Amino acid sequence: MLQQKSKMNRRDFLKLMGAFAGASAVVTACAPEQIPGPDPTRVVEPPINPTGVPPEPALPPVALGIIALNRMAYGARLDDFDAFNALGATDDERLRNYVAQQLNPDSIDDSDFETRYAAAGFETLHKTQDELYFDHIASNPYNSNDDAYWEWYSKPAYELVDATFLRAVYSKKQLVEVLADFWHNHFNVYFWQDDGVPMLASYNRDVLRAHMLGNFRQMLEAVATHPSMLYYLNQNNSSDAGPNENFARELFELHTLGAENYFGVQDPNSIVKDANGIAIGYVDNDVYESARALTGWRVDDDIYEYEDGVEKTGHFLYYKPWHDRFNKLILGKYIPADQEDMKDGRDVLDLLAYHPGTARFISRKLARRFISDNPPDSIVEAAASIFMANASAPDQLKRVVETILLSPEFKQTWGAKIKRPIEAAISMMRAVNTDFTKLPGGIPWMCSMMGQAMFERRPPDGYPDVKEAWANTMSLLYRWNFAVGITENWMDDEEQQRIIRTDIVAQTPAELRTAESLADFWIPRILNRPMSDSDRQAVIAVMAQEYGTQEELPQDHIDYVLPAMVEVILMSPDFQWK
Amino acid sequence: MPTQKFTRRNFLQGCSAAIAELAGARLTNVAFRQDNSSADTLVVVFLRGGWDALNVVPPMAGDDRGYYELARPNIKISNLLPLNDQFGLHPALAPLHGLYQQGKMAVVHAVGLNYDTRSHFDAMEYIELGTPGQKSTTSGWITRHLQTQGVSSILPALSTSGAPSSLLNFVPTVNLNDPSEFSQWDNGLAASQQTALRQMYNGETLLHRAGIRTLDSLGIVSPLVEGEYQPSNGASYNDDELSQQLKTVARMIKLETGLRVATVDYGGWDTHEYENDGDGGYIAELLGNLASGLSNFYLDLDSGYTNKLSVVVISEFGRRLVQNESYGTDHGHGNVMFALGGGVNGGQVYGAWPGLHNDQLYDHADLAITTDYRQVLSEMLAHRLGNADVASVFPGYVPTGEMGIFRE
């Protein structure tokens, strides 16, 4: 069995987890109407390029549908490209319609996927947060010395992995899937986070998916009060006696302002304030003060059984005995002592969610995902303005994403990114119409061999979103091996009756009998565009083997070689760009 | 020299046979190490998460022991293995204590990234790029070291976990975690597919270059790693992530393909809680794996290779002097580094000790830094890696004096 089996106690989880940490501050000030300009006190450093790394050569431009389907979706399935082109008479019109459709997922008929999802027979994913906690943690029916206990304990999280692959391959709500992946990486929670593994299914659904087209401030509080995050970044045992800074630090550095707004270890009074008196960036003291403000934000669990008022429901719990009641100074704002319950922490979330630095940081990350590893400042500023102007809107994030997707920068960029491993794997299955319902464990295992095990990024920063992280020998080799494994039908898990099938020959018109005609059918079928002549010749050569390129091939040769030819197209550089 | 299934000559023959299968192979960047190369193989073990220097090498005596115990009532370490009359090693590091006593390992204390950050990600990036305060640097410090050396060996750089920034934009890097997994899945047509890939990946983008490197590496690694690896001298690697990576590095070193640098990552050091909750705790497990992995690695290579081996153990920062309420420690500053190898002036603790009194702490909270981590690396570059061009490796940095950690 390829999939990792869980058999571990609390200490083992700690070991596996190796999580990181952080805290924050106050103020209910409304968002400024206008986003302030770039901070004049920060020096923009010229890149140090002591070894003369060459700039990346530009790629030939491609049709807008190809850009859209590779960035807003996990690549094209059969007919997706034609369907995009049918959405309008001009590129702009098609893109507008496609974005409108994808940003309103409820309008999309996804019945084929829903049928498949029902057939997959997930046992735990329908459960509410409370049910997950009760059934799989508090009242797990098995003995914790037995494998069955740990299988039942981790089942919701494993089912989440399976369901996420299923959705990404088959759902027509592709942008939803891309965004869910983006936000899980942004607010990363490691699969094996301490104590609350089953809750990952709730976190992904009730926090990330529920808010990712909604309001960032609301999303932030949902994150900060969910057991998955509280456990993962040790907020669950942060008390006034010695605050744990893990969550507070990452709240600043990874979730909101970002390292680009971190001024390091400095006197907080030395930081420039904006017109509202709020510091334009943060220093370590803001992290410490915010950790204090968030003390008492924890899970209602039984870690400390002797306590009054703790009932083991798995809910968020504001535990007043742990809260540091004294005054704090955060990002230049004074937070008085003895505020009402949760007000200190909410003030921190307000300060961060409405900060222009957060608007830029979130916008830059979204633009990095959707446009380029190094997105131009123009689109970052445009999206950040929308973020700020809609700070209280219920569809704030939807508007920000829409701004990015309809931007000239989106339309004019191609090949400034390569697919990350999971994207590559999913897009291969989409391109060759792979059929599965219950996911074999080999699929996520292959992604881990490429360096991107789903939901298993251990540090809280999420998987890298730049090509330098993925253009290396091991990762690329297993990307290629994935093409082979999928196309040759080597990925079944027969013991678990999890079967995955790709039938290349059946998808090929029977009248195509020559190496050239087979290559010329499959290249545009997969890429929706031609290859360069030399790449095409390379593909044809694989198909022809010892035959001539225009010679009629015997059926047994086609049966044997055609999958290998398709694999080469999936392995090609052209298939990796986005 | 050890007995190996493949001698260098056999390797040359095997390799050219393998490469000959790749019609149209471009081998411009593949050549063998020059025989006169006398540089050590460098192995960098990066402990991700910020290891707790003050529990790895705690003060053993004097006022500082008092400050330490006061600050860490629940997680202080006793039963130390003495390094000198001032410091001891965490007891879980016993196997390394042996190497220290034999003079094969040195400890540098109060060392680190002398830059005001307590961010993991910034600190790691600064250290690995070798340019504190500058994240836009386009190459890693090891990249620049290898480039200034004009490396021409067949497999100059190996990373066993991911793509570290220290090797950023060093195209010839081979990335693999287990050589026995490093092969192309083959339905019988892989050779023909590789020919096509070599043609399609002939280009100048990062992706194209990585593709060619992958194909070259397949030709190099796959034929060499058939069968089970047998460590020398009875060395035995545990199953943990670090030990398995070190095993891979040892195996690749013994293939004598001219490996100049290997990077190894070991994560999980961000001990915000339960660092030492009465029975040794979480950090003892990590340290046990570190000690077992490194000592077996050393034993394995003490078969003709350790006289040309330099290992450095580094982490992005140390941790706060004062424990938190979760029996853990939060992000700190000053740190400790280890150096191992035949060319190390071991058995000593290097570095000026700043003390642990509140007035002596960095930001009144953390161990201060008296030695820039680049000082240690610069001495190693000059004395063990044959690279006197420190200014190119660490632009803008001027080493101060000479601590004498490495022999010429």
Residue-wise pLDDT tens digits, A394-412: 999 999 999 999 999 999 9
For residue A510, the enclosing domain spans: 506-576
Comparing CB atoms, the residue among B163, B197, B325 nearest residue A568 is B197
Range 52-111 of B in CB contact (< 8 A) with A: none
Candidates B128, B174, B192: best to mutate against A (most CBs of A within 10 A) is: B192
Portion 330-369 of B in contact with A at CB < 8 A: 330-331, 333, 362-363
Residue A556 inside a domain? The answer is yes
Q: How far apart (Å, rounded) are the C-alpha atoms in residues A120 and A276?
A: 53
Which of A55, A78, A80, A53 is CA-nearest to residue A65?
A: A80
Kindly state the average pLDDT of the residues B232-240: 97
Among B119, B182, B326, the residue with its CB nearest the CB of A234 is B326
Q: Between these two residues, A30 and A571, which has the higher pLDDT value?
A: A571
Q: What is the pLDDT of residue A1?
A: 30
* ∠ CA B372-B376-B382, rounded to 5°: 130
Which residues, including other chains, have CB under 8 Å from residue B171's CB and lie 6 or more apart? B29, B209, B210, B213
* Contacts with A451 (C-beta within 8 Å, 6 or more apart), sequence order: A421, A469, A470, A474, A475, B162
Q: Residue B280's pLDDT is what?
A: 67
A-interface mutation test, from B265, B273, B282, B390, most A Cβ less than 10 A away = B273
Q: What is the 3-state secondary structure (H, E, C) of chain B?
A: CCCCCCCHHHHHHHHHHHHHCCCCCCCCCCCCCCCCCCCCEEEEEEECCCCCHHHHCCECCHHHHHHHHHHCCCCCCCCCEECCCCEEECHHHHHHHHHHHCCCEEEEEEEECCCCCCCHHHHHHHHHHCCCCCCCCCCCHHHHHHHHHCCCCCCCEEECCCCCHHHCCCCCCEECCCHHHCCCCCCCCHHHHHHHHHHHCCCCCHHHHHHHHHHHHHHHHHHHCCCCCCCCCCCCCCCCHHHHHHHHHHHHHHCCCCCCEEEEEECCCCCCCCCCCCCCHHHHHHHHHHHHHHHHHHHHHCCCCHHHEEEEEEECCCECCCCCCCCCCCECCCEEEEEEECCECCCCEECCCCCCCHHHCECCCECCCCEEHHHHHHHHHHHHCCCCCHHHHCCCCCCCCCCCCECC
Chain-chain contact of B326 with A537 (C-beta, under 8 angstroms): no
Residue A230 covered by a domain: no
Residues 108-167 of B with CB under 8 A from A: 115-122, 131, 134, 136-139, 143-144, 147, 159, 162-163
Can you tell me the mean pLDDT for B304-315? 97
DSSP string, A353-401: HT-HHHHHHHHHHHHHHHT-SS--HHHHHHHHHHHHHTTT-TTHHHHHH
What CATH fold (topology level) applies to the domain B40-176+231-393? Alkaline Phosphatase, subunit A (3.40.720)
- Would you call B214 and A477 a contact, using CB atoms and an 8 Å cutoff? yes
Nearest to A47 among B138, B285, B322 (CB): B138
Residue B3 has pLDDT above 50, yes or no: no
pLDDT tens digits along B122-163: 999 999 999 999 988 989 999 999 998 887 788 899 999 888
**Total domain count, chain A:** 1
pLDDT over 70 at B32, yes or no: no
Nearest-angstrom CA–CA distance, B164 and B155? 17
Q: Which two tokens stand for residue B216?
A: 């070259």
Report the gap between the CA of B135 and the closest CA in chain A (Å). Answer: 8
pLDDT at A13: 33
Q: Which residues of A touch B200 (CB under 8 A)?
A: 534-535, 538, 568, 572-574
Chain A residues with beta carbon closer than 8 angstroms to that of B137: 47-50
Q: What is the pLDDT of residues A170-204, one digit of tens each?
A: 999 999 999 999 999 999 999 998 789 999 999 99
Q: Do B326 and A242 touch (CB under 8 A)?
A: yes
Q: Do B207 and A467 touch (CB under 8 A)?
A: yes
Do the beta carbons of residue A157 and residue A198 sit within 8 Å?
yes
pLDDT for A54: 72
At residue B141, the pLDDT reads 97
Q: Which of A51, A294, A558, A568 to mutate to test the interface with B (most CBs of B within 10 A)?
A: A51
Contact pairs from chain A to chain B, CB under 8 Å: 242
User: Which pLDDT does position B224 carry in this prediction?
Assistant: 76
Does A245 sit within 8 Å of B330, measured CB to CB? yes
**Inter-axis angle of helices A473-487 and A421-431, to 10 degrees?**
20
| pLDDT reading at A30 higher than 70 | no
Confidence band for A307, pLDDT divided at 50, 70 and 90: low
ipTM of the assembly?
0.91
What mean pLDDT is reported for chain A? 91
Closest listed residue to residue A191, CA positions, set A214, A221, A161, A225: A161
% residues pLDDT > 70 (chain A): 89
Lowest mean pLDDT among A246-255, A336-345, B193-202, B247-256: B247-256
Whole-model pTM: value is: 0.89
Nearest by CB to A538, from B199, B206, B324: name it. B199
pLDDT of A306: 57
Would you list the domain boundaries of chain B? 1-30+183-224, 40-176+231-393
A166 contacts A66 by C-beta, under 8 angstroms = no
Tens digit of pLDDT for each residue in A49-81?
Answer: 655 667 788 899 999 999 999 999 999 999 999
The answer to the question of residue A514 being in a domain is yes
Quote the minimal CA–CA distance from A362 to chain B in Å: 17
pLDDT at B28: 30
Contact B395 A476 (CB under 8 A): no
Domain assignment present for residue A339? The answer is no
Residue in A48, A490, A534 to test binding to B, most B beta-carbons within 10 Å: A48
Provide the shortest C-alpha distance from residue B144 to chain A (in Å): 7
> Which candidate from A49, A237, A571 shows the least CB-CB separation from B326?
A237
Token pair recorded at residue A460: 């809280």
Confidence of residue B222 (pLDDT cuts 50, 70, 90): confident
Confidence label for B4 from pLDDT (cuts 50, 70 and 90): very low
Q: Which residue, among B137, B139, B200, B265, would best test binding to A if mutated, counting the most A CBs under 10 Å from its CB?
A: B200
Looking only at the bridges linking them, the beta strands covering B81-82 and B105-112 are unpaired
From A106's Cα to the closest Cα of chain B, the distance in A is 38
Residue range A528-545: average pLDDT? 98
Predicted confidence (pLDDT) at residue A312 exceeds the cutoff of 90: no
- The pLDDT value recorded for residue A50 is 59
Give the helix/strand (H/E) hosting A428. helix A421-431
What's the pLDDT tens digit per position in A77-102? 999 999 999 999 999 999 999 999 99
Q: What angle do CA B93, B94, B99 make, to 5 degrees?
A: 95
Nearest to A561 among B189, B205, B363 (CB): B189
Residue A534 forms part of a structural domain: yes
- Picking from B121, B200, B214, the nearest residue to A259 by CB comes out as B121
Chain A residue numbers touching B204 (CB-CB < 8 A) = 54, 56-57
Q: Inter-chain contact B324–A567, Cβ cutoff 8 Å? A: no
Q: Point out the residue among B173, B177, B330 whose CB comes nearest to the CB of A21.
A: B330
Model confidence at A44, in pLDDT bands (50, 70, 90)?
Answer: very low
pLDDT category at A321 given cuts 50, 70, 90 is: very high
Residue A19 has pLDDT above 60, yes or no: no
Residue A17 forms part of a structural domain: no
Question: Which chain B residues touch A419 with a CB distance below 8 Å?
Answer: none
